[in-house]
Amino acid sequence: MADVQKIALVTGSSRGIGRGIAERLSRDGFHVVASATARENEALVRSFAEQGVAVDYIGLDISSEGDRAHALEWIREKYGRIDLLVNNAGVAPTVRADILETSRESFRRLMHINLEGCFFMCQLFANEMVRLVQAGTLPDYRPRIVNISSISAYTSSTSRGEYCISKAGISMCTKLFADRLAEYGIPVFEVRPGIILTDMTAGVREKYEKLIAEGVTPIRRFGRPEDVAACVSAAAGGDLDFATGQVLNADGGFHLRRL
Ligand code: NAP
């Protein structure tokens, strides 16, 4: 990467996939702003540093309009630019419940965090990127957005329908922004993880281990955060720009239909 330090914001990077993405992007040459819901997280910054990764941290609950605005303002003041937004933060239902029993509370929580959070993060940072593109003051400024959805965007899991719907919404969100931002030269991509071993899947690890052993994914192992991070890195690097709106399936081949 050139002399200019490019700035990447990765939401939900305190652990799991987001952390893997932050580490990878840092190795790729980005200066990474890690973020999660805690207001401050010195321990996290230290643990990144122990792995040779220097990050800044900002508390950012993606479902909070105030937090979103504050994050943008903070980045604008500190760096004067944003080159990459990775919308990774997301939650699963607190309790898995059959769609015949889904509570409005859980439905609203998932839409509020996963879908509304992603959409308005895209909107806010897209406007900032457009502003910077139009200002024309940053040489070789080519910002990008990557949204992390899930195989649940198109796979039915009737015990967590609200999660599936929120992820399907993120897929459309990616298409919409890829379309709208194309005229400004701002590509938007979707990375669709499969079954990845993180805190989110820890509670159902045995169930997934069995499914994987039985061949639910052609590549018979759990995905790792670094598998997803490699796809984000590819999308962030610039080589895929003409393929804006493309989905990268980080899923061990789960999406392949088989007879
Ligand atoms: P995870 O281990 O549970 O980590 C979730 C991350 O999101 C944490 O850093 C968490 O931070 C943050 N977060 C939660 N609520 C937030 C909010 N309101 N605002 C900002 N940050 C928030 O999950 P993961 O498995 O790494 O998943 C990351 C993303 O990949 C999610 O969007 C998930 O849906 C998606 N995904 C995961 C899998 C999988 O198999 N694991 C598969 C497909 C897609 P704090 O709690 O510290 O604030």
Count of CB atoms situated within 10 Å of the CB of 42? 9
Q: How far is the CA of 136 from the centre of ligand 1 (A)?
A: 35
Q: How far is the CA of 148 from the centre of ligand 1 (A)?
A: 10
Q: Is 163 a catalytic residue?
A: yes
3-class DSSP state for residue 86?
strand
**Domains identified in the chain and CATH numbers:** 7-250 (3.40.50.720)
Phi, psi for residue 133 in degrees, rounded to 5: -60, -45
Question: Rounded to an integer, what is the distance from CA 233 to the centroid of its chain?
Answer: 12
Q: Is 217 touching ligand 1 by the criterion CB < 6 Å? A: no
Q: How far is the CA of 12 from the centre of ligand 1 (A)?
A: 6
Distances (CA, A) of 206 to 213, 228, 245: 10, 21, 34
Structure tokens at 87: 């919308």
Q: Which of 15, 162, 171 to mutate to test the pocket of ligand 1 (most atoms within 8 A of CB)?
A: 15
d(CA 119, CA 96): 24
Which residue minimizes the CA distance to atom 36 of ligand 1?
150
From the list 79, 141, 163, 184, the catalytic residue is 163
Which residue minimizes the CA distance to atom 34 of ligand 1?
90
d(CA 244, CA 189): 6
Structure tokens at 209: 């281990």
Distances (CA, A) of 35 to 19, 188, 205: 9, 20, 26
- Output the tens digit of pLDDT for each of the chain's 259 residues: 446 899 999 999 999 999 999 999 999 999 999 999 999 999 999 999 999 999 999 999 999 999 999 999 999 999 999 999 999 999 999 999 999 999 999 999 999 999 999 999 999 999 999 999 999 999 999 999 999 999 999 999 999 999 999 999 999 999 999 999 999 999 999 999 999 999 999 999 999 999 999 999 999 999 999 999 999 999 999 999 999 999 999 999 999 999 9
How much is the pTM? 0.98
Q: Is 15 touching ligand 1 by the criterion CB < 6 Å? A: yes
Q: Is 90 touching ligand 1 by the criterion CB < 6 Å? A: yes
Question: Rounded to an integer, what is the distance from CA 151 to the centroid of its chain?
Answer: 14
Q: How far is the CA of 133 from the centre of ligand 1 (A)?
A: 30
pLDDT at 4: 84
pLDDT at 1: 46
